[in-house]
Amino acid sequence: EFILLGFSDRKELQVLFFTTFLLAYVLVLLSNILIIVTVWTDPKLSSPMYFLLCNLSFIDICCTSVISPRMMVGLLTQRKTIVFEACIAQLFFLHFTGASEMFLLTVMAYDRYTAICKPLHYTTIMSRRMCWALVSACWAGGFLHSLVHTLLTVQLPFCGPNTIDSYFCDVPLVIQLACTDISGSELLIASNSGLISLVCFLVLVTSYIFILVTVRVRFNEGYWKVISTCGSHLVVVTLLFVPCILMYLHPSSAFSTNRHICMSYTIFSPMMNPLIYTMRNKEVKASMCKLWKRCR
């Protein structure tokens, strides 16, 4: 067993944390389920962008469900222990869904770049078959990434300390408890998670720069609207990628106990994705209103 120290031993703070995280989790579930139902029931929302947004909502549900329920149970029942198998399972699914989301956000940026910078070829490039292939590649890449980390962790010997100074199991946190030299493991973490986070982030930023330059050169109107949209997207992307870059590209001991860094990409980023990527879209809001009227 491992012992997860969580956030605080003070009961009043634990009640506050439980209430906050419960509201955040419910918001993530309801908003993303609403997005999925809206996209799948409205034939007008059949473009590649909405197909990718629907997949992003599904990944957000999976990603936040890996951590939030177990964390809230610990806050409510004071049960801080987690068995080794459950810890490894949490680690695996966290990296599986997290890496898949990073790849999918990169694909979504490419989709927007193609739609704005190459509009005449958009339907040919982003065909339905291509969309399914890209989404499948995102899931496959996430699975392989997570499998490497999981195999790396389970083969380490654990025979001493069993206290994890966090609220969930993650590779940099767990390998610190191994009874062996972990310098090679830390290097693999940096080359795997760290470089994936950094490269995806740079690709996203580059695509948004190309979009802004193209809109500024080709179009006279709508430039400031594009800046607003790209800016809000970059805020959410930064909440997800920058903490991951800090956590995995640096030595694990440097940031392993900083819960605030972990909270930004495990709790707040999945909560912000529906609000920024979808709820600001007029077509989606109109479809939600139609869905609401049909259900009344």
Residue pLDDT tens, the chain, 296 long: 888 877 767 777 778 888 888 998 998 899 889 888 888 888 888 888 889 988 999 999 998 999 888 888 888 776 678 888 998 999 999 999 999 999 999 998 898 888 888 888 888 888 889 999 999 999 999 999 999 989 988 888 888 778 887 888 888 888 888 888 877 877 888 788 888 889 999 999 888 888 888 877 666 666 666 776 777 778 888 888 888 888 787 655 544 456 677 777 777 778 877 777 776 677 777 777 777 777 76
Distance CA(262)–CA(238), nearest Å, equals 13
Nearest to 256 by CA among 193, 167, 188: 167
CATH annotation of 2-295: 1.20.1070.10
- Predicted pLDDT of residue 26: 92
How do the domains of the chain map onto residue ranges?
2-295
Residue whose pair of structure tokens reads 């389970």 in the numeric block: 154
- Predicted pLDDT of residue 21: 87
Distance CA(4)–CA(2), nearest Å, equals 6
Residue whose pair of structure tokens reads 């999945």 in the numeric block: 270
Q: What CA–CA distances, in Å, run from 52 to 16, 27, 133, 230?
A: 35, 20, 12, 17
**Contact predicate 95/171, CB 8 Å:** yes
- Predicted pLDDT of residue 256: 47
The burial of 228, by beta-carbon neighbours within 10 Å (0-12 exposed, 13-18 middle, 19 or more buried), is given as exposed
What does DSSP assign to residue 190?
A: I
Distance CA(141)–CA(1), nearest Å, equals 30
- Predicted pLDDT of residue 123: 86
Can you give the pTM of this predicted structure? 0.88
- Predicted pLDDT of residue 221: 61
